[in-house]
Every structure is written in structure tokens, then in C-alpha cells.
């Protein structure tokens, strides 16, 4: 017989008592999470920012924003993370051991199990109820978009496929993305998804609700985004890999280029709507030089991290210089996806849909909200086709020239089809601005080189092959 958990008391003293009891368990659990960005750095301090009881009793649900500080001379103000903490007298069967922080000791909550409530269908269902009714708890606000009401009685199941955030799926109707690393300001995923939804775009899942919190007199920070769940959709990355895998037995397993063309059109449609709905600008010569200079700086940092890039450095820097010289009359910029690849695209019976407009999570939020060349998304998708093609060579003994040729041809065919579809959909013809496309693809490949060197060394040849190709075309 377990000890009955008292639940969270809604008083400030009750919340403070629970948070203080939970901090030692959080300090041990947090670095083990895939979405935690401070791996390898010891935690110097944990400071509660806002603690909000969303359900009292047994079980209880506590929403917590927590500032994490790391030691060292270069340590900044720390990162704020969002936690949903469940408290029960007994651990629920749906919550696996990796989601359990431990048992609280001492005080009112002695013996209660503390766990990540994302894995508790009952408590995530409670979160949906708050979204459905547009509740407000102090600085924490739940907001709905106009339209049909939301069901408030659906349990949620945790999605295990994500890394930088967490998602909860409600039946086959909705999916809630919980942003784990929080910054003041509207998250681009909410900002752009709302703009596209309000403009009537069918290329994204419709926004149903979101919630936010105002931090220390700053603008509200986006905490979560509820959208329609695409239950009948197929993942673009998985579709591409399926086609690539079939090349080993059949050089013509199906024409994925048709889908690549359609995806290009969908990307262009999204860019056109964003250009109409969001602010645009035109970079003058000085700003273009700054853009090229930032690319060169990232290259220099990458050369330090991966010395194998050194021999390409002069040619790649020359490509960045050509970008400046080719656009003396200016360069249009707008809001874009910011982290587009095949895994961010879903094929539905009605056509391609784009997901996750958050941008690259590692970049500061203010930087992700800046207008950029629309072709940056195109360059990123071209890199994704290269990555998909490279799976054909994975596990192949030695260098198989025939497989390498098939992979190269598949990538080239689909890259060309995607660009043609993008142009047909009203986007700027990538072939018409070769200096810009080359610079953007180099910039993306340089990022990939550093990432693979640090996290997946066996994949390093993929971006290095692109660097070699792009350096030769300068």
C-alpha cells in the first residue's frame, strides 16, 4: 500500500515547497533528456521562474519554468526549460522508468512519485481541457483560435520521435508540441503557422490553440502549439528512403521525382503566402556583404573544428564573395521555414504539407525570426535529397561504383525536379541565381560537416562530398 500523495496546493507556499523538494530529482534527470541542450556542462544552479498548479489532488499536475545555469567564465544567464511534472502516490503503468524522476522525500509530499507528465494520458488530457476552455493562471495563458470548439475529454499519448521538443497526440485529431527550451517572444512555429492558417493555406496543419507565459516583464513566450494531427499522412523522409532502398534491386523503382516536383510547388506556395502575410525587406549591398561575411565566419569556425575543411576554404570563401558581387542591386528577403528537409514534409491525400516552422532550435529566437532569402529553404531541401541518396551506400562493402552512380543520379534527378516544381509554383527560379544558391548550399553543408563530426562521424563523408562538389563549381 503506497503513501497517498497530497497533491499540489494552489498556495504560493505549497508550490514552493513542492518545487524545492523536486529540485534535487530534476538536477539528476534533466541531463538525461534528449531535448536538454546543456549536455557535457555541469549544472551550477537551478532557479524556479514560474510554478503553476494545473491540477490538484492525486494525481497532481505542476507546470514549471526552470532556469538552468552552468558554471565557467563564459557562462551566460542560463536557459529556461519547460517541465510538466506529475505527482502520484503510485507510479502509473503508462509512465516508463525513463520518465520517472524519483520519489519525493520529506515534507507534505514524502513518498510521492514525481514524473514527466507528458507520458501520463490523464494529465495530458487535462492540459487539452485548459486549451479548450482558454484558461488563465496568473502569467500562464491558454488561447484558442476562432472556429469549432475543442474536445476536452481526449487522453494524450506521448510521441517518442522528437528530440528538441516533446509532442502529445490526442486520438487522431490533434497534436500538441511542447517547446522545452523557452525564450521570450513568439516562437516562429506559432507565428508563421498562424499567419498561414489565417491566410487560408492548406499547406500546413491548422492551428487550433496555443499557450504562453509572460517572463519577467518581457513579451509572452510561446510554450505549446496545438494543431490538427495528420493521421493519414506519410513522412517525406521515409518515402524517399523507401524509394532509395529499392534502387538496389531495381534501377527504376518508381518516379519519386514526381513527388519532388509537387513538394517544390508546395514550398513555393508557402513562401508566396508568407511574403504576402509577413514583413519583407530588401538587403542593400552592405547587408549582403554582412550575409556573406557571416557565412565566411561560420566556415572559419568549422575549419577550426574540422581541419579537413581547410583545403576547401579558399574556394568556398570565393563563393561567398561572388554572392556579394552578383547582387549589387539588392536581395529580397522574407520569413521562411528556416529548417526545411524531407522529414519536415508530409504527403497527405490532398498534397504535401510542411511542418515545424520553428527554425533551427540551436539559433537564438530573435535570429530565427529575421527575414532571409527564400532560397535558403530550397538549398536546405536539396541537401536533404543528398542525405536520402546516401542511405543507398550505407552498409555497402567498400566502394561500390554502381551503387554510388545510382545514388548520385537519384539525388540529381530529384533535386532538379524539386527546383522545377518550386519555379512552377511561383518561386524564384534557383537556376537564375546560381551564386546565391551555391553560397546557401555551401553554408548548409558546412553546418552539416560540423554536426556530423561531433555526433555521427560515420556520416561525415556525406556533407564532405557536397563540399567537394560545390568547391569545384566555384
For 135, the 3-state DSSP assignment is: coil
Q: Tens digits of per-residue pLDDT, 313-324?
A: 999 999 999 999
What pLDDT sits at residue 132?
A: 94
pLDDT at 274 > cutoff 80? yes
Q: Is the pTM of this model over 0.75?
A: yes
- Rounded to a whole number of angstroms, the CA Rg of the chain reads 24
Phi, psi of 337 (to 5 degrees): -65, -55
Q: What residues contact residue 94 under an 8 Å CB cut-off, 6+ apart?
A: 119, 120, 121
Rounded to an integer, what is the distance from CA 301 to the centroid of its chain? 23
Start-to-end C-alpha separation, the chain: 72
- At 295, list the grid cell: 557565412
Of 322, 309, 31, 357, the C-alpha closest to 204 is 357
Cα separation, 474 vs 460, whole angstroms: 22
Provide CB contacts within 8 A for 101, sequence distance 6+. 22, 25, 26, 28, 29, 85, 114, 115, 116
What is the Cα–Cα distance from 15 to 108, expressed in whole angstroms? 11
Q: Is 66 helix (H, G, I), strand (E, B) or coil?
A: strand
The whole-number average pLDDT for the span 84-110 is 90
Closest listed residue to residue 348, CA positions, set 207, 194, 231, 176: 231
pLDDT for 163: 75
* Region at 187 (left for phi over 0; alpha for psi -120 to 50; beta for the rest): beta
Alpha-carbon distance 232 to 236, whole Å? 13
Q: CA-CA distances (angstroms) from residue 95 to 168, 191, 268, 437?
A: 14, 33, 42, 47
d(CA 112, CA 5): 5
pLDDT digits (tens, 9 = 90+) for 133-168: 999 999 999 999 987 778 878 889 998 776 789 999
The residues pairing with 144 across neighbouring beta strands, listed in sequence order, are 209
In terms of average pLDDT, the best of 72-86, 160-174, 207-221, 258-272 is 258-272
Specify the range with the lowest mean pLDDT, choosing from 107-111, 358-362, 395-399.
Answer: 395-399
Please check the confidence at residue 259 and state whether its pLDDT lies above 50. Answer: yes
Q: Is the pLDDT of residue 180 over 50?
A: yes
- Going from the C-alpha of 23 to that of each of 26, 55, 166, the distances in angstroms are 5, 20, 21
List all residues 6 or more positions away from 355 whose beta carbon is below 8 Å from its beta carbon.
Answer: 204, 205, 344, 345, 346
Query: Residue 2's pLDDT is what?
Result: 42
Of 347 and 154, the one with more pLDDT: 347
Distance in angstroms (rounded) separating the CA atoms of residues 357 and 344: 9
| 3-class secondary structure, 34 | coil
Lowest mean pLDDT among 66-70, 151-155, 256-260: 151-155
Q: Which of 174-183, 242-251, 396-405 has the lowest mean pLDDT?
A: 396-405
What cell numbers appear for 425 in the block?
A: 509554383
Element (H, E) at 277: helix 256-277
User: Which residues are registered as beta bridge partners of 84?
Assistant: 63
Residues 100, 20: Cα–Cα separation, whole Å = 17
What mean pLDDT do residues 345-358 have? 96
Banded model confidence at residue 391, pLDDT cuts 50, 70, 90: confident
| Residue-averaged pLDDT of the chain | 91
pLDDT tens track for 412-435: 999 999 999 999 999 999 999 999
Residues facing 47 on adjacent strands? 67
Output phi, psi for 52, to 5 deg.
-130, 115
Q: Which residue has the higher pLDDT, 187 or 402?
A: 187
Asked if residues 17 and 107 have their Cβ atoms less than 8 Å apart, the reply is: yes
pLDDT for 344 equals 96
Q: What is the pLDDT of residues 22-67, one digit of tens each?
A: 999 999 999 999 899 887 788 999 999 999 999 998 999 999 999 9
H or E element: which one contains 212? strand 207-214
Q: How far apart are CA 463 and CA 237, in angstroms?
A: 17
Confidence of residue 393 (pLDDT cuts 50, 70, 90): confident
Cβ atoms of 254 and 221 closer than 8 Å: no
pLDDT for 3 equals 47
> Residue 337 region, left (φ>0) first, then alpha (ψ -120 to 50), else beta?
alpha
DSSP classification of residue 341: -
Tens of pLDDT, residue by residue over 80-90, are 999 999 999 98
Instruction: Give the mean model confidence (pLDDT) for residues 324-331.
Output: 89
Q: Of the ranges 7-21, 38-52, 175-189, 460-474, which one carries the lowest mean pLDDT score?
A: 7-21
Q: Which three cell numbers stand for residue 280?
A: 519583407
Region for 400 from its dihedrals, namely left if φ exceeds 0, alpha if ψ lies in -120 to 50, beta otherwise: beta
Amino acid at each position: 500500500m503506497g503513501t497517498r500523495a497530497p497533491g499540489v496546493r494552489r498556495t504560493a507556499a505549497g508550490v514552493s515547497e513542492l518545487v524545492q523538494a523536486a529540485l534535487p530529482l530534476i538536477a539528476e534527470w534533466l541531463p538525461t533528456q534528449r531535448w536538454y541542450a546543456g549536455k557535457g556542462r555541469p549544472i551550477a544552479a537551478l532557479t524556479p521562474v514560474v510554478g503553476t498548479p494545473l491540477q490538484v489532488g492525486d494525481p497532481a499536475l505542476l507546470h514549471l519554468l526552470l532556469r538552468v545555469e552552468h558554471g565557467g567564465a563564459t557562462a551566460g544567464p542560463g536557459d529556461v526549460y519547460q517541465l510538466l511534472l506529475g505527482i502520484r502516490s503510485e507510479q502509473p503503468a503508462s509512465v516508463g522508468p525513463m520518465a520517472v524522476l524519483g520519489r519525493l522525500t520529506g515534507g507534505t509530499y514524502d513518498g510521492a512519485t514525481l514524473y514527466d507528465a507528458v507520458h501520463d494520458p490523464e494529465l495530458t488530457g487535462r492540459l487539452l481541457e485548459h486549451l479548450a476552455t482558454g484558461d488563465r493562471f496568473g502569467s500562464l495563458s491558454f488561447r484558442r483560435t476562432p472556429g469549432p470548439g475543442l474536445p476536452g475529454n481526449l487522453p494524450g499519448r506521448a510521441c517518442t520521435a522528437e528530440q528538441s521538443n516533446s509532442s502529445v497526440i490526442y486520438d487522431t485529431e490533434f497534436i500538441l508540441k511542447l517547446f522545452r527550451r523557452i525564450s521570450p517572444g513568439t516562437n516562429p512555429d506559432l507565428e508563421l503557422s498562424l499567419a498561414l492558417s489565417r491566410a487560408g493555406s492548406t499547406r500546413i496543419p491548422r492551428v487550433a490553440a496555443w499557450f504562453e507565459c509572460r517572463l519577467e516583464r518581457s513579451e509572452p513566450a510561446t510554450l505549446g502549439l496545438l494543431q490538427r494531427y495528420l493521421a493519414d499522412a506519410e513522412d517525406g523522409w521515409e518515402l524517399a528512403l523507401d524509394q532509395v532502398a529499392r534502387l538496389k534491386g531495381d534501377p527504376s523503382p518508381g518516379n519519386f521525382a514526381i513527388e519532388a516536383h509537387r513538394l517544390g510547388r508546395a514550398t513555393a506556395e508557402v513562401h508566396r503566402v508568407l511574403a504576402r502575410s509577413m514583413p519583407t525587406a530588401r538587403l542593400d549591398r552592405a547587408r549582403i556583404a554582412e550575409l556573406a561575411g557571416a557565412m565566411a565566419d561560420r566556415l572559419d569556425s568549422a575549419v577550426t573544428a574540422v581541419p579537413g575543411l581547410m583545403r576547401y576554404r579558399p574556394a568556398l570563401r570565393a563563393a561567398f564573395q561572388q554572392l556579394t558581387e552578383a547582387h549589387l542591386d539588392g536581395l529580397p528577403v522574407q520569413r521562411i521555414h528556416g529548417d526545411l528537409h524531407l522529414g519536415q514534409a508530409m504527403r497527405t491525400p490532398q498534397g504535401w504539407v510542411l511542418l515545424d516552422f520553428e527554425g533551427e532550435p540551436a539559433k537564438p529566437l530573435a535570429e530565427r525570426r529575421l527575414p532571409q532569402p527564400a532560397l535558403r529553404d530550397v538549398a536546405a531541401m536539396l541537401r536533404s535529397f543528398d542525405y536520402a541518396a546516401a542511405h543507398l551506400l550505407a552498409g555497402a562493402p567498400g566502394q561500390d561504383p554502381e551503387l554510388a552512380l545510382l545514388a548520385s543520379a537519384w539525388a540529381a534527378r530529384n533535386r532538379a525536379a524539386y527546383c522545377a516544381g518550386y519555379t512552377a509554383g511561383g518561386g524564384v527560379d534557383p537556376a537564375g541565381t546560381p551564386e546565391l544558391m551555391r553560397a546557401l548550399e555551401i553554408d548548409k553543408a558546412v553546418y552539416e560537416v560540423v554536426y556530423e563530426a561531433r555526433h555521427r562521424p560515420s556520416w561525415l563523408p556525406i556533407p564532405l562530398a557536397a563540399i567537394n562538389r560545390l568547391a569545384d563549381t566555384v
